[in-house]
Amino acid sequence: MTIYYDSVCAENVNTVPVVRQLHAVFKSIPDTDLLAALKAPTGRPGYTVEILWKTYIAMTVLGLPTFASLIRTLQNNPMIAVACGIMSEDGIPSKFAYSRFIRKLSQPDFIVMVKNVMRELTRQLYISIPDFGKSVAIDSTDLKAWSNGNKKPASDKNAMWAVKSDTAGKKKYYFGYKLHLLADTQSELPIAANVSTASFADVRAASRVLSHARFTYRAFHPEFVICDAGYSSEKLISLIKRQYRARPIIKINPTHKKLRFVESKEWQGIYSRRSAIERMFSRLKTYRRLNSITVHGIRKVTVHCFISLIVTQAQALHAATHNQIASVRQCIYAPV
């Protein structure tokens, strides 16, 4: 039986905190060009691009792990459905509609447009947050593929095996991808990102995210670029100094004898800011479904990661433009 949401008063909808949060995110995301390029309708009549896009964004805001859980949420919470433009239960997209939508969104031209959405948000954050991008950190986090790497052939043909050490120094293997991120250490917000297979070297990815940051914002000249020992490289240090006119604060790998120097108290104080990006990864995985990968292939995983970052930036931009700069971190990562 179809249940229409005529009884849901628009005035009441707008008073619900989660609905206000969704509206703030929708309003902050510069997605006009992307939605126009995607065209409507997609799927059955009623499954417009706008509805599929907004519900996908809502899925990330709410931290829902799967499309099945998103569909249940839309069925059980009419106010959330109405906030996304759905006026009846029949208007809730199916899992197949989402599958087709993600497949379309992961086409190369649309991936570029998704990245452009993040770039525009980054530029607006530079304008809205004082000293944004002055102190930045680079790091990566592992993303486990939605596939069994021990099974031949693996269902995800792009994913690869990699080894990493945990906090106790014990090596562990995982099958999947990496998200390489350059982030502002003060606001704990993303500036530039790149997705690679799990075996891609962090130090090689550093130059890419720095280049993406400069492409996004031509005035990108941070005071400090902070990295752990995985980025210990004479070439990277030289690049940061020469091209970005920044001071590299990089933990030197003990095996790199040419790069040895004394870590002063000032250096250690600046290096401690690197923990900001680790906290950011933890929050993205806990609240913005970064770790809830249910797609195959690096292109779909790229879309998945960038949507998490876009939602985070959009929430921060809304806070920054509504005189809530002091509470940016709390409001963008708070669970709904």
Beta bridge partners, 171, equal 165
202-216 average pLDDT score = 97
Q: What is the pLDDT of residue 4?
A: 44
Q: What is the pTM of this model?
A: 0.92
The per-residue pLDDT for range 122-167, each reduced to its tens digit, is 999 999 999 999 999 999 999 999 999 999 899 999 999 999 877 6
Contacts of 279 (CB under 8 A, 6+ apart): 188
What percent of the chain lies above the pLDDT cut of 70? 88
Nearest one of 188, 186, 231, 187 to 209, comparing CA atoms: 231
DSSP class per residue in 217-242? -TT---SEEEE-GGG--HHHHHHHHH
Three-state DSSP state, 46: coil
Q: What is the pLDDT of residue 321?
A: 86
Q: What is the pLDDT of residue 125?
A: 96
The per-residue pLDDT for range 222-250, each reduced to its tens digit, is 999 999 999 999 999 999 999 999 999 99
How far, in Å, are 151, 223, 245, 248, 306 from residue 288 at the CA level?
A: 29, 29, 33, 30, 11
pLDDT, mean over the chain: 90
Structure tokens belonging to residue 280:
């950011």
Strands 224-227 and 247-250: parallel
| Cα 216 to Cα 289: distance, rounded to the nearest angstrom | 25
Is 3.30.420 the CATH classification of the domain at 130-295? yes
Q: List, by residue range, all CATH 3.30.420 domains of the chain.
A: 130-295
